[in-house]
């Protein structure tokens, strides 16, 4: 396989507000807490990692992969189902590519300078 030297998978920049809407639409909050956001609290057995902390440590394409192919990287064994795959379900048949891109942009924004201070100013 020949790839250009510096090639890297890069999703286009998406819409942060639409990404937050998609997070609600697909009820991602049912398994993921996002500190600093007012989503309903997670519940059930398949709870995944808190996501605000993930913003600064991963590039957008990591988030695209996490959503499109949850079993590609599984941080801890407690996140695995009996079949060894991720407990995170696939959304591929119901999510548009645009929603995927917007979700990656939303997740990437978390924990960084985009979280407004209590007075609504940016830090
Ligand atoms: C039924 C529970 C469940 C739902 C619903 C769910 N997730 Fe997950 N998610 C998990 C689990 C468990 C993991 C950890 C294992 C893994 O990485 O697949 C995870 C991992 C992730 C990760 C990777 C975190 C990391 O650092 O590796 C991201 C990003 C993520 N989910 C985003 C989402 C988004 C966005 C949605 C909604 C479209 C969503 N999840 C819906 C359970 C869920």
Q: Rounded distance, CA 46 to CA 33, Å?
A: 12
**Is 118 within a domain?**
no
Domain assignment present for 8: no
Ligand 1 atom index nearest CA of 63: 29
Q: Which among 67, 65, 71, 99 is positioned nearest to 84, based on CA atoms?
A: 71
97 domain-assigned: yes
Q: How far is CA 105 from CA 21, 24, 98, 118, in A?
A: 12, 15, 11, 22
The answer to whether residue 9 sits within a structural domain is: no
Average pLDDT, the chain: 90
Is 37 a member of any domain?
yes
Q: How many Å apart are CA 82 and CA 1, to the nearest integer?
A: 35
Residue 31 lies in a domain: yes
Helices 60-68 & 97-109 angle (0-180, nearest 10): 130
> Residue 106 C-alpha to ligand 1 middle, in angstroms?
14
How many percent of the chain have pLDDT more than 90? Answer: 80
Maximum Cα–Cα distance for the chain, whole Å?
A: 52
CATH of residue 27's domain is: 1.10.760.10
Torsion, Cα 53 106 80 72, to 10 degrees, reads -110
Q: Is the CB of 108 within 6 Å of ligand 1?
A: no
Per-residue model confidence as pLDDT tens digits over 25-68: 999 999 999 999 999 999 887 799 999 999 999 999 999 999 99
> What is the 54 CA–ligand 1 centroid distance (Å)?
11
Note down the domain range covering 58.
Answer: 16-109
Ligand 1: centre distance to CA 32 (Å): 7
State whether the beta carbon of 56 lies less than 6 angstroms from ligand 1: no
58 part of a folded domain: yes
How big is the CA angle at 107 (ends 72 and 20), to the nearest 5 degrees? 125
In a domain, 44, yes or no: yes
Please give the pLDDT value at position 66: 98
Counting the structural domains of the chain, the total is 1
């Amino acid at each position: 396989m020949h790839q250009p030297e510096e090639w890297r998978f890069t999703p286009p920049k998406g819409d942060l507000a639409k990404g937050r809407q998609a997070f609600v639409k697909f009820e991602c909050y049912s398994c993921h807490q996002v500190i600093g956001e007012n989503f309903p609290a997670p519940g059930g057995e398949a709870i995944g990692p808190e996501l605000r902390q993930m913003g600064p440590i991963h590039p957008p394409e990591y988030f695209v992969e996490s959503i499109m192919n949850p079993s590609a990287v599984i941080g801890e064994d407690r996140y695995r189902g009996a079949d060894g795959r991720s407990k995170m379900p696939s959304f591929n048949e119901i999510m548009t590519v645009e929603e995927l891109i917007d979700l990656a942009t939303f997740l990437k924004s978390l924990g960084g300078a985009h979280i407004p201070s209590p007075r609504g100013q940016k830090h």
